[in-house]
Amino acid sequence: MTSSIPAANSAAPLLDVQDLQVNFVNGRLVTPAVRGISFQLGKEKLAIVGESGSGKSTVGRALLQLHPRSAQVTAQRMQFGEMDLLRATPAQMRAIRGKRISMIMQDPKYSLNPVVRVGEQIAEAWRSHHPGQREVAR
């Protein structure tokens, strides 16, 4: 997956990803999964769309440090606010995952329930990190 999306505004981006590369290593075999994706994101939401196997979930997992050890994730820059996502500790990632940054997986088994309104599901996920704030979640 190779792409470059310009910043939506002139303010400092909340998420800045430059030249993200993800390779999967199995012995001597190296399989490139994402090659050179760059984007900046402010306070807007981002949807990454593409064909099956194009690297959408791989990019999200790289940002959230959810890949197995066999993955090699490199980038010139992968900054979320003040946090360098390439050097963030597991504890730092746990503190922001779901609370400040998250993703909805494309596999229906792991994402949205078709019989529950999308807004309710998003609010439920938000409330799991912000207990007792039902009205704020709405």
Contact indicator for 21, 75 with CB cutoff of 8 Å? yes
> pLDDT by residue (tens digit) across 31-50?
999 999 999 999 887 778 88
Cα distance from N-terminal residue to C-terminal residue, the chain: 35
Q: Is the pTM of this model over 0.75?
A: no
- Return the pLDDT at 9: 47
User: For 99, what's the count of Cα atoms within 13 Å in the CB-facing half-sphere?
Assistant: 8
- Render 47-94 in DSSP notation, one character per residue: ----STTSSHHHHHHHHTT-S-TTEEEE-SEEEETTEETTT--HHHHH
Tell me the domain boundaries of the chain.
4-92, 104-138
